[in-house]
Each structure stands twice: as structure tokens, then as C-alpha cells.
Amino acid sequence: MNIVVCTKQVPDSAATLKVDEQSNVSWGDAPLVINPWDEYAIEEAIRLKEKFGGKVTVLSVGPEQVKEALKQAVAMGCEEAVLIWDPAFDGSDALGITHILAQAIQKIGAVDLVLFGKQAIDGDSGLVPAGVARRLGWPLMSYVARIDELSAPQISVTRALEQGRQSVTSRLPAVITVVKEINEPRYPSFMNIRKASKLPIPVWDAAGTGVDVGKVGRANAAAQWIKVFAPPARTGNVELINGDSPQAIAAALADKLMADKVI
Ligand SMILES: Cc1cc2nc3c(=O)[nH]c(=O)nc-3n(C[C@H](O)[C@H](O)[C@H](O)COP(=O)(O)OP(=O)(O)OC[C@H]3O[C@@H](n4cnc5c(N)ncnc54)[C@H](O)[C@@H]3O)c2cc1C
């Protein structure tokens, strides 16, 4: 199995988003981490490799600092890592990112499966995996909670939907996004941390990946973020209900809701 997993470096979710009066978004000094949803994709990719053989390559589009996220993925068990970056990529929208990733996946060649987390916790669009699948012309299975069977050239998965579960069979190569129900990500092993610290991480630029610079970067972003702002603080009365026990508090709350005709 030739598996690719894509990851984005994001600010730690505990950090506070700062927005100034000109709508400039900043994460301040927030520590940067692997997008938490991607840890499940990385874990699943490694499990598939351990079961079926082959290798896992982790990819990320981003500046030099993103190498830290890639090293973390290698420390979990990915064999290879590639950073894809060129100053021309700066300010790309999701459409631009999908072009860059699809080009890199084609450059790797003979890829069987591409895994993603279901979304990034900062951009939150969930667009990238579908865009990559579309550009590659491969099927996409989103919200995968279990890989039931993998027997090339076929894969069967269970998707977690709000209404229930859906079993899907598809041909390979394919793209999947995973939900956290799929596994429990492992901690990096000491051996792999050492390996990651020594592994050279190549940087593929626009020319090296065949990226059309007319499709990426701020100037070519189809979607522009016009304004980013923190929601206004809530106003209104807040009444705290106290009581001697959870039962007494629940009873007082129920009385209050009935008196206000909420229930
Ligand atoms: C300051 C700032 C300004 C921005 N301005 C704009 C703008 O004007 N217009 C606009 O459309 N977008 C803008 N973006 C968003 C940015 O382009 C998105 O981060 C990008 O499009 C990816 O989308 P997403 O974060 O919603 O990822 P999702 O689609 O939610 O992520 C899904 C999966 O794709 C993976 N993935 C996402 N990005 C990458 C990557 N770079 N490398 C590898 N895997 C990846 C995730 O890790 C996850 O597994 C801005 C972002 C920032 C921080």
C-alpha cells in the first residue's frame, strides 16, 4: 500500500483568537500543533501500513515551521515527510491548496489511498479533501468511522452520519476523511522520535510539483475573507440557580422553566 496522509499545522485550540479593528486575524504566541483531527488519519494510515505493508508519506502545504508538525507525524510512524512550500503559495484559499496537494500526490505516483482529518480546527471549511479528490478524479468517502475491508483494488468503509451509519464500497485509489471514532492515536515512540529528529524533510516548490502559480496565492484566491470578527459578548440577565443538591437544583430549574412557559 502506498498511502499518503495530509496534515495542516494549526494553533493549539486552547489559544485565543485575536482580531484587530482591521479584521486582521492573529493567533498571538499560540503554540502550533498538528490539526487534532489529522492525528486520527495518521494513526489509521500507520495501522493500514502495519497490516498490509507499504509506506506512509505525510504531506503538508505551509512554511518552514510546518516541518515540526511533519516530524511529529514521523514520530508516530510515518516513513516519509514532504513539505510543500513556495512563497507563491502564501495566502492561498482552499481551492489553491487542493491544486498544490493534488500535484504533490501525482508527483509521488502510484498512490493507493489518501487520508485526511475531517476538517481543520482553524479554517474549518472541510473543503480540502473533496477538492483534492475532485482534482485527482478519485472517489471521496468522508466521515469514515471504520475501514471494514481493504483488498486492492477495493475498499469498504463505514461512514458516520448524523442520521446513522452508511456502508460504502469504492475502488482504489481513493480519498477518505476520518472521524475520531475510527481509532485512538498512539503516542510517538522513543525510537521514532529519534528517527524524526534526523529525517531530512525535502521541500517541494511550485516548479518541482508542477503547480500553476496562476491558480494559487492571495491574488488568485477565489474566496476572500472579507471580515473576521469575534461574536459580540452576550447581554441579558443571567440567573444562577443554587441548591443543596443536584436534585434540588434540577427541581428549581424545572419550576422556573414551567413558570416562564418554556416547558
Ligand atoms: C490569516 C488567514 C487568512 C486566510 N484568508 C483566506 C481567504 O481570504 N480566503 C480563503 O478561502 N481562505 C483563507 N484562509 C484559509 C486558508 O486558505 C485555509 O486554511 C485553507 O484553505 C485550508 O482550508 P481549511 O483550513 O478549512 O481546511 P479543511 O478543508 O477544513 O481541512 C480538511 C483536511 O485538509 C487538511 N489540510 C488543510 N489545509 C492543508 C494544508 N495546507 N496542507 C495539508 N493538509 C491540509 C486538514 O489538515 C484536514 O485534514 C485564511 C487563513 C488564514 C490563517
Q: Output the CA angle 24-27-30, nearest 5 degrees.
A: 165
Three cell numbers at 263?
Answer: 416547558
Q: In this structure, how many other beta carbons lie within 10 angstroms of the beta carbon of residue 86?
A: 20
Residue 232: what pLDDT? 75
pLDDT by 10-residue block (mean), the chain, 263 residues: 96 71 71 94 98 97 96 97 97 96 97 97 93 98 97 96 96 98 96 95 97 96 80 78 93 93 88
The residue ranges of DSSP E strands in 95-173, in sequence order, are 113-117, 140-151, 154-161, 164-171
Residue 81: what pLDDT? 98
pTM score, whole prediction: 0.87
- Establish how many alpha carbons lie within 13 A of residue 22's alpha carbon, considering only the half-sphere containing its beta carbon: 2
Residue in this structure with the C-alpha cell 500553476, named with its chain if needed? 212
What is the Cα gyration radius of the chain? 22
Q: How far is residue 44's CA from residue 215's CA, in Å, rounded to a whole number?
A: 31
* Ligand 1 mutation pick, 97, 134, 209, max ligand atoms within 8 A of CB: 97
Bridge-based pairing of strands 154-161 and 140-151 is antiparallel
Q: How far is residue 120's CA from residue 69's CA, in Å, rounded to a whole number?
A: 14
Which secondary structure element, helix H or strand E, spans residue 82, and what is its range? strand 80-84
Residue 16: what pLDDT? 64
Q: How far is residue 194's CA from residue 23's CA, in Å, rounded to a whole number?
A: 41
- 127 CA → ligand 1 middle, Å: 8
- 129 CA → ligand 1 middle, Å: 11
- 77 CA → ligand 1 middle, Å: 25
- 250 CA → ligand 1 middle, Å: 43
Q: In this structure, are residues 27 and 80 in contact, taking their beta carbons and an 8 Å threshold?
A: no
One DSSP character per residue, 121-132 reads TTT----HHHHH
Q: Output the CA angle 202-206-211, nearest 5 degrees.
A: 125
- Establish how many alpha carbons lie within 13 A of residue 206's alpha carbon, considering only the half-sphere containing its beta carbon: 15
Three cell numbers at 73?
Answer: 507525524
- Going by the DSSP 8-state scheme, the letter that residue 263 receives in this structure is -
Closest Cα to atom 12 of ligand 1: 93
* Ligand 1 mutation pick, 20, 125, 228, max ligand atoms within 8 A of CB: 125
Closest Cα to atom 45 of ligand 1: 8
**Buried/exposed 106-122: b ≥16 CB within 10 Å, e otherwise:** eeeeebbbbbbbbbbbb
Q: Which residues, judged by CB distance below 6 Å to any ligand atom, belong to the binding site of ligand 1?
A: 6-8, 25, 35, 37-38, 60-62, 92-94, 97, 101, 116-117, 119-120, 122-129, 221, 223-225
